[in-house]
Structure 1
Amino acid sequence: MKIYRITSWIMGFSSGVLVFGLGLVLLGAFYSSFFQDEFSDISNETVELPPAAPFVSKGSGFPPVLAYWISGCKGDNGKILRLLKAAYHPRNQYILSLDASSSDDERRKLALSVQSERVFQAFGNVNVVGRSYALNLMGSSALAATLHAASLLLRINSDWDWFIPLSASDYPIMTQDDLLHAFTFLPRDLNFIDYTTNSRWKKRQGMNHIAMDPNLYFKENTQIFFVSEARAMPDAFRIYGGSPWFILSRAFMDYCIQGWDNLPRKLLMYFTNVAYPLESYFHTVLCNSPEFQNTSVNNDLRFIEWSNHSDMELNFLNLSHYERMVLSGSIFARPFQEGNLVLQKVDEIILQCRPDGFVPGRWCLDTGMNQTLENSNSDTNEDCSSIWGNINEVKPGPYGLKLRAILSKLADEGRLRLSHCDAL
């Protein structure tokens, strides 16, 4: 397991406007493993080595490789680990991080929890960010953190296909076998992102108001603030926006980080001083880039239960939260609080896994909920720790087959449009 140290971002203000440096600084972070330094007394202990991990086959005909970034804040260790196991597959890459509201002790415990799992040791595909950084979800520090996570994943292993950011409040509502099966048959350049050019959205966001995010240069999480003056709307590019959750291709994330034609960096200068840039930056880059604008699928594949729904909306067709979530055709749902009973139902019915356990699949020969019943009076708990199946094959269930049909239809409809973004 590798643990990466992240340096602080330092930026100044000039004449009330943030000096542009975010694009260079967030990509210039230094990486160093401090596991041997700070945990040498633990890492030197004699431990039983896990069995050799099977080789991960990639390329045409094999399932894709997904790159997950799972982030959280103070007190989220348990939720992060539960989410990690629910969304785990040996083919994928994972980065876990806690923001500045958490303590060094919490990050150590998270790293040790990952190290203690034989599966993670064997496949070496789960990494923990060793240093925290301040951020505010309303500000550009959240955008910087997202780009930084993607750059870390590219640095660790660039041989993945899609980037998926998750928070500790997210949870999968289908197995990884289902998800990988559905994505196997798609072009690997597709980007799943919810976007619009609706003028009411722009007005709500206040795109002409200048927002300042002190988290870019402070060590502790703090509030963003707005300056009194406003600025004119840009005319060099068209602004798009929508959901801050997405599934983006490796090629597009590489483009956003490298910025070889300068568009991502130019837009980064603008969105550094915008509130909620995660709701507009990637959308705007995608739809203003001739190379990528026709790779978009206007669907973020998320089910979000907004707390401000009316009673009529919440009781649509008299369906429960669980039923609406399952019928949505989404891959992930949010937000969930600790101990939410809906999560227990997802584990039992959809994922068929034990609480806080790995999800059975072609790679994992654990029998999930059935083993819990059979071994309720036994100390034996293999839980995929020592017996693995074929990690290069997946076994889809009804949710995976349904998702494949939905995504194939969306992809086919997209091919018929000359310009995806202009169709709005």
Structure 2
Amino acid sequence: MKRFHNPPNRKCSPPLAAVAIAAVLLVLILIFSQPKTSINSSPINRTSEPPEPPRFAYFISGTRGDGRRLKRLLQALYHPRNYYLVHLDLEASESERIELAKYAKSEAVMRAFRNVMVVGKGNIVISKGPTVMASTLHAVAILLKQARRWDWFVNLGASDYPLMPQDDILHVFSYLPRDLNFIEHSSDFGWKEHQRARPIIIDPGLYHSKKSGVFWAKEKRSLPASFKLFTGSEWVVLSRPFLEFCIWGWDNLPRTLLMYYTNFLSSSEGYFHTVACNHKDFQNTTVNKDLRYMEWDDPPKEQPTNLTTAHFDSMARSGAPFAHKIPEDDSVLDRIDRELLKRRDGEIAPGGWCLGSKNDDRRCRVYGSADDIRPTGLCSKRLEKLVVQLLDPQSFRSRQCK
């Protein structure tokens, strides 16, 4: 990865502006200091001083033909506080990659805050192979090096889309411990034991620059005895401390597991999960949810159902900040833009940092403090409700690394 648009060396952090609703998730106190106490009242304390908003590091990835989709996704996700690394894999054309880089440099607010990076040379990524995991870890390493301050890493693909403004997500996450890892996981492999854990595969993308399917070895392997395998969703929201451990690991566990998962089918559905659940420092930081809205067939197939306008109400009510997966140019994207994000076609989704009038053609060209977080209310309440349910002391601990 040679060419990308660098984030600033300076901090963009003017004094914290007042937010419209000051909320404290008291459930966190119940969880971490009084785990046996039940929640009988609202978790909102509207008189407390709001903490500093977090920063997200987004890894947005796609392949050939996804350039236009990634541009739209970037516009829907953009916020001056966050960092964005956009990656089109080796299959994508050079022109697509250049167009994305040009857009990041030409959009006034992105140029001013310098928080969007576009990878200049794409990695080869083979579906179900460990090159997916390698590309993600490479992205994490770049973000750790190039972006000085961020709290959570989020991976998104071309078929993903946000279901609420960034202000709402930042507002709710302001009250969460910065070491929580939202990662759907289980040690119950079921059918995956014989189709994922025991087979040995070779990903040619690790050795060649030409994309092809993975190769299967004739031999099978037994389950490991020195660590316990976990599996789950490849879509994650991971904390910076955990990812620093995965990249710079102060013991050998991340490297040992990385070697093991080199020959593992769909390693992106198990590597982070197994690292977190096999280390005492991170076992109790896992929240068993990937924060994505998905629909599955019954019985479920390998991939979730395509989301359409028929799913809009369920998506909006779910409280999930992201949806997976939506077909290209489906009309539900326009409805999400219009009703949830308040985003006009071709524009960046507005937030409290935008100072232009709602009637302006480009209202976010005039901007103020990146710390001015103004949640819409309804979306943040839905996300808050979801988080409170996930952190309910009656079920939170029992769903960790089981």
Provide the TM-score with structure 2 as the length reference: 0.83
CA distance in 2, matches of 1:349, 1:204: 44
Q: Does 1:199 align with 2:189?
A: yes
Q: How does 1:177-256 map to 2 (within 5 A)?
A: 177-203=167-193, 205-256=195-246
Measured at CA, do residues 128 and 416 of structure 1 come closer, stay the same or move farther in structure 2, by a change above 3 Å?
Answer: closer
Deviations 1:204-258 (A, max 9, x none): 6431110110111222322111111111110111101011101000001111111
Look up the SS of the partner of 1:71 in the other structure: strand
Residue 135 of structure 1 and its aligned partner are, at CA, apart by: 1.0
Verify the 8 A CA contact 1:135 1:216 in the aligned structure 2.
no
Look up the SS of the partner of 2:337 in the other structure: helix
Partner of 1:112: 102
Deviations 1:71-95 (A, max 9, x none): 1111111111110010110000100
Q: Select 2:367's aligned residue among 367, 388, 406.
A: 388
Counterpart of 1:392, as a letter, is D
Q: Select 1:321's aligned residue among 311, 316, 322.
A: 311
Number of residues of Structure 1 aligned to a counterpart in Structure 2: 359
Q: Does 1:405 align with 2:385?
A: yes
Counterpart of 1:389, as a letter, is G
Verify the 8 A CA contact 2:184 2:290 in the aligned structure 1.
yes
Q: Select 2:84's aligned residue among 87, 90, 94.
A: 94
Verify the 8 A CA contact 1:201 1:241 in the aligned structure 2.
no
Q: Does 1:176 align with 2:156?
A: no
Look up the SS of the partner of 1:96 in the other structure: strand
**Identity across aligned pairs (percent)?**
42
Residue 308 of structure 1 and its aligned partner are, at CA, apart by: 7.0
Q: Does 1:131 align with 2:91?
A: no
Look up the SS of the partner of 1:390 in the other structure: coil
Please, which runs of 5 or more residues in structure 2 have no aligned partner? 17-49
Measured at CA, do residues 418 and 391 of structure 1 come closer, stay the same or move farther in structure 2, by a change above 3 Å?
Answer: same
Look up the SS of the partner of 1:101 in the other structure: coil
Q: Does 1:293 align with 2:283?
A: yes
CA distance in 2, matches of 1:225, 1:145: 19
Partner of 1:19: none
Partner of 1:335: 325
CA distance in 1, matches of 2:370, 2:170: 11
Residue 300 of structure 1 and its aligned partner are, at CA, apart by: 0.5
Counterpart of 2:200, as a letter, is I
Q: How does 1:261-300 map to 2 (within 5 A)?
A: 261-300=251-290
Partner of 1:420: 400
Deviations 1:133-173 (A, max 9, x none): 21112000000000000000001023110000111111000
Between 281-290 and 203-212, the greater mean CA deviation after superposition: 203-212
Residue 337 of structure 1 and its aligned partner are, at CA, apart by: 2.0
Measured at CA, do residues 35 and 62 of structure 1 come closer, stay the same or move farther in structure 2, by a change above 3 Å?
Answer: closer
CA distance in 2, matches of 1:34, 1:416: 40
Verify the 8 A CA contact 1:186 1:408 in the aligned structure 2.
no
Measured at CA, do residues 367 and 407 of structure 1 come closer, stay the same or move farther in structure 2, by a change above 3 Å?
Answer: farther
CA RMSD after TM alignment: 2.5
Residue 278 of structure 1 and its aligned partner are, at CA, apart by: 0.6
CA distance in 1, matches of 2:98, 2:383: 38
CA distance in 1, matches of 2:394, 2:83: 28
Measured at CA, do residues 321 and 204 of structure 1 come closer, stay the same or move farther in structure 2, by a change above 3 Å?
Answer: farther
Measured at CA, do residues 230 and 323 of structure 1 come closer, stay the same or move farther in structure 2, by a change above 3 Å?
Answer: same
Verify the 8 A CA contact 1:73 1:102 in the aligned structure 2.
yes
CA distance in 2, matches of 1:34, 1:181: 29
Look up the SS of the partner of 2:229 in the other structure: coil
CA distance in 1, matches of 2:246, 2:4: 28
Counterpart of 2:210, as a letter, is E
Counterpart of 1:87, as a letter, is L
Look up the SS of the partner of 1:199 in the other structure: coil
Partner of 1:164: 154
Q: Does 1:78 align with 2:61?
A: no
Between 216-225 and 139-148, the greater mean CA deviation after superposition: 216-225
Q: How does 1:142-153 map to 2 (within 5 A)?
A: 142-153=132-143
Partner of 1:45: none
CA distance in 1, matches of 2:396, 2:89: 43
Residue 389 of structure 1 and its aligned partner are, at CA, apart by: 3.0
Measured at CA, do residues 197 and 54 of structure 1 come closer, stay the same or move farther in structure 2, by a change above 3 Å?
Answer: closer
Measured at CA, do residues 195 and 201 of structure 1 come closer, stay the same or move farther in structure 2, by a change above 3 Å?
Answer: farther
Partner of 1:46: none
Deviations 1:48-102 (A, max 9, x none): xxxx9964569x9210000000011111111111100101100001000100111
Verify the 8 A CA contact 1:92 1:125 in the aligned structure 2.
yes
CA distance in 1, matches of 2:273, 2:240: 15
Look up the SS of the partner of 1:320 in the other structure: helix
Q: Does 1:347 align with 2:327?
A: no
Counterpart of 2:128, as a letter, is M
Provide the TM-score with structure 1 as the length reference: 0.79
